[in-house]
Structure 1
């Protein structure tokens, strides 16, 4: 099964992600609120492009079921995940419009651009390989963190979204699609790039990343 090959490639990155102080701080409540605020602001920029990437992936799909899945997931990103971000921003006293004025950071621009490009210009297998690590790593992180939750109610709220049964079932369906593909080493390279961007995204929030000039 191609999912086993892909996980073998991205698992070392996943281990680095769950060991990162941003994630360990989410779990034990020690994560500085400013780092989480930075993450949420960047999500306000990233998620619309992520939804575009999902829609583009669906447009490349070979059959109605896969088209429907990614169209539905694109809508879910806007309706559920983006709505969560808006509510989290409000918890920080920010309107979405104010958050967007702060602008996306370098990693957000790079990651979103890579996903949109891969899903818009690649084949369906390439698009799926690009998008799967984001689904899968968030599901794994959410499941792992949900086991211990967080003493911080704001962090626990975020954890429950990605560790919950509904999101886990969504990811399971995407992995079934992945297993329908023919093995191709090039797809593993695409997935590894996305996984690395996942680590960079968490790290950027931890460092309060900004542009180095201008």
Structure 2
């Protein structure tokens, strides 16, 4: 039986292939990624994650099914608690705390991605919000799963890879994809197309986020 997730993956898989081939990720697995590039990434994640948690909460507000409300409210809380703790530890590895990270400011891609997510989740329908947030879940799960096959000779990078490649995270994403299939099954074609459009945009932002770290992007003016 055909699943909507398979249709959606066809939309984003070209972007995912570019993500896997990006020197940021190949450098993670072979250990050659400059530490300063990874530090930049962690700092920008510290700025991005609160907006992602807000987007998850907004998506849950739009859901009609109480189970979906509970799922996204819970995931929003876990993003704040679990991923926040992860990034506190990663920052500490660079002798930094959250105050230091906030002092460096959010880069253009970080602001753009977070703003797009919040706009889609606050102003769009529940399926549109779902389309916007799914790539962050799904691409990280796919990246973690793929990179875990190789891991990394760098213990810090290996730890990061394990976080997203491990079974609990994969199970979380599987639950979101089950919900995606369920929601899409009753959608008119035009609404499915809008969902896919949002997903493609945020998948592209995922590539941009890693590329911005690789370039250590800054505001040009």
Q: Please indicate the TM-score interval, normalised by the length of the shorter structure.
A: over 0.9
Deviating above 3 A after TM superposition, structure 1's stretches of 4 or more consecutive aligned residues are: none
C-alpha distance in 1, partners of 2:144/2:69? 26
- 1:81 corresponding residue in structure 2: 83
Return 5+ residue gaps in structure 1 as ranges: none
Task: Identify which range, 183-192 or 34-43, moves more after superposition.
Answer: 183-192
Aligned to 2:93: 91
The match for 1:192 among 194, 200, 211 is: 200
RMSD: 0.7
Residue 37 of structure 1 aligns to a residue whose secondary structure is helix
3-state DSSP of counterpart to 1:104? coil
| Structure 2, unaligned runs of 5 or more | none
Q: What is the aligned partner in structure 1 of residue 153 from structure 2?
A: 151
- 1:76-102 Cα offsets, whole Å, 9 max, x none, are 111111110111000000011111111
TM-score (norm 1): 0.98
Q: 1:38-71, CA deviations, whole angstroms, 9 ceiling, x for partnerless residues?
A: 0000011000000000000000011110000001
Structure-to-structure mapping, 1:175-186, within 5 angstroms: 175-180=177-182, 181=184, 182=187, 183=189, 184-186=192-194
Equivalent residue for 1:61, pick from 63, 84, 87:
63
Match of 2:175 among 170, 173, 176: 173
The residue number in structure 2 matching 1:204 is 212
Paired residue secondary structure (1:179): helix
The whole-number CA distance in structure 2 between the counterparts of 1:82 and 1:206 is 22
Distance 1:82 1:115 in 2: 19
Using structure 2 for the length normalisation, give the TM-score: 0.95
How much does 1:148 deviate? 1.0
**What is the CA deviation profile of residues 157-190 of structure 1, one whole-angstrom value per residue up to 9, with x for unaligned ones?**
1111100000000000000111012252121111
Distance 2:142 2:15 in 1: 12
Aligned pairs, number:
213
Instruction: Verify: 1:44 aligned to 2:52, yes or no.
Output: no
- In 2, Cα distance between the equivalents of 1:187 and 1:95? 37
**Aligned position for 1:140:** 142
Query: Which residue pairs with 2:37 in the alignment?
Result: 35
Q: CA deviation at 1:34?
A: 0.6
